[in-house]
């Protein structure tokens, strides 16, 4: 039986536009730092992608710094800045920040000093979307771009983090987008690439795919392609809510990404549910892919006020534009079948 992939927030299938751009870039032999014709051809690919990314997110007057991942972008933006963060941020951001901001039960973060704070656009575990304050120092937009409209200039954010593989680009390439004139100290030194802010020969092939994917992904948002996915999200939640009253759908009262369902069934461990769904041919997750596999309660859910049992009993279903109603109903059938078995087991405490 064909497997069903419902873990798009972890990574997305490569878009055809990105694949085509990458294949074309493979035939360009030059180093983009070389001044001869071959080098200029490689440099042109990088600069075209830089422009594509900038235009796609409304950052035409900003600088796009290509790096190897969103994790590297966070380090480049945050090291030495002591930015204030909340517990709902991805670990890549939380590792560099000062934990001083709080989040409410809907995952909304209260910001007192935007110029010293970092707040994500949307959460990858819960799908909750933030209302960003003007003048914010940094925002992680990895989960938002390609799913909802995002305009860098209009947001009033000084710096933003992107990751290509979250919207149909290749893995292993990300970007830090900064307002022109913003001081960013290089963390990787030894060369003058990326205007001296990130040494190392550019990943020309990956960057080509990044640019093409950004154009295509934002076009899909502008065309309203995610409205159908949002209906599937609501259909799934309604189907499960009718059958299982105890399940909590996290962030249901807040604005969320159109594709994300975070659901808690207290006592039924998320990792167990993930394995059961995998055996049924369905890929879901127990939270962020970077922390999945570590047997511990979700720090995001704990920051939102859920207790350890609840935070360890969550799974995330994240859909893509290729997801069908049949996929969603197949998950619902499989999950409800396993829930019936779980609920029939006499137990004390967690399963």
Q: Which residues contact 227 (CB under 8 A, 6 or more apart)?
A: 258
Beta bridge pairs of residue 283 = 5
Q: Specify the DSSP element, H or E, that contains 105.
A: none
The CA distance from 177 to 62, in Å, is 7
Beta bridge pairs of residue 318 = 7, 260
Q: Is 205 exposed, middle or buried (0-12, 13-18, 19+ CB in 10 A)?
A: buried
DSSP state of 107: -
Q: Which residues contact 281 (CB under 8 A, 6 or more apart)?
A: 1, 2, 3, 4
Which of 126, 143, 147 lies closest to 251, judged by CA? 126
CB distance 315 to 286 below 8 Å = yes
Residues counted in the chain: 351
Q: Any alpha helices (H) in 79-200, and if so which ranges?
A: 91-94, 152-155
Q: Can you give 303-337 as a three-state secondary structure string? A: HCCCCHHHHCCEEEEECCCCCCHHHHHHHHHHHHH
Q: SS3 for 285?
A: strand
Q: Exactly one of 55, 244, 290, 329 is catalytic; which is it?
A: 290
223 given a catalytic annotation: no
The CA distance from 8 to 271, in Å, is 18
CB distance 311 to 295 below 8 Å = no
What's the gap between Cα 205 and its chain centre? Answer: 22
What's the gap between Cα 37 and its chain centre? Answer: 37
- The string of DSSP codes covering 127-179 is -BBP-PPTT-SEEE-TTTBTTB---HHHHT-SEEEEEGGGTTS-SS-EEEEEE
Catalytic residue numbers, as ranges: 290
């Amino acid at each position: 039986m064909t497997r069903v992939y419902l873990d798009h927030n972890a990574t997305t299938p490569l878009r055809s536009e990105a694949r085509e751009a990458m294949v074309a870039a493979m035939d360009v032999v030059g180093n983009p730092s070389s001044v001869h014709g071959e080098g200029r051809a490689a440099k042109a690919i990088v600069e075209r992608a830089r422009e594509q990314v900038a235009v796609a997110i409304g950052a035409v007057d900003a600088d796009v710094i290509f790096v190897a991942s969103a994790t590297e972008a966070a380090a480049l933006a945050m090291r030495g800045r002591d930015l204030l963060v909340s517990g709902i941020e991805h670990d890549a951001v939380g590792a560099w920040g000062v934990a001083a901001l709080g989040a409410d039960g809907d995952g909304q973060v209260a910001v007192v000093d935007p110029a010293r704070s970092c707040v994500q656009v949307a959460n990858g575990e819960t799908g909750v979307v933030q209302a960003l304050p003007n003048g914010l120092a940094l925002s992680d937009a990895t989960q938002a771009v390609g799913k909802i409209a995002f305009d860098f200039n209009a947001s009033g954010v000084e710096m933003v983090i992107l990751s290509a593989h979250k919207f149909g680009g290749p893995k292993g390439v990300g970007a830090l987008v900064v307002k022109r004139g913003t001081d960013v100290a290089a963390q990787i030194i030894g060369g003058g690439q990326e205007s001296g802010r990130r040494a190392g020969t550019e990943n020309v092939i990956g960057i080509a795919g990044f640019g093409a994917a950004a154009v295509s992904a934002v076009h899909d948002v502008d065309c309203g392609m995610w409205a159908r996915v949002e209906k599937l999200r609501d259909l799934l939640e309604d189907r499960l809510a009718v059958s299982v009253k105890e399940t909590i759908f996290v962030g249901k009262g807040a604005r969320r990404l159109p594709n994300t369902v975070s659901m808690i069934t207290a006592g039924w461990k998320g990792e167990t549910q993930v394995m059961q769904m995998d055996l049924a041919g369905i890929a879901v997750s127990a939270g962020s892919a970077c922390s999945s596999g570590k047997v511990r309660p979700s720090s995001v859910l704990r920051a939102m006020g859920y207790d350890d049992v609840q935070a360890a009993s969550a799974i995330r279903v994240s859909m893509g534009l290729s997801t069908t109603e049949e996929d969603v109903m197949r998950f619902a059938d499989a999950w409800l079948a396993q829930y019936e078995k779980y609920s029939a087991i006499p137990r004390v405490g967690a399963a």
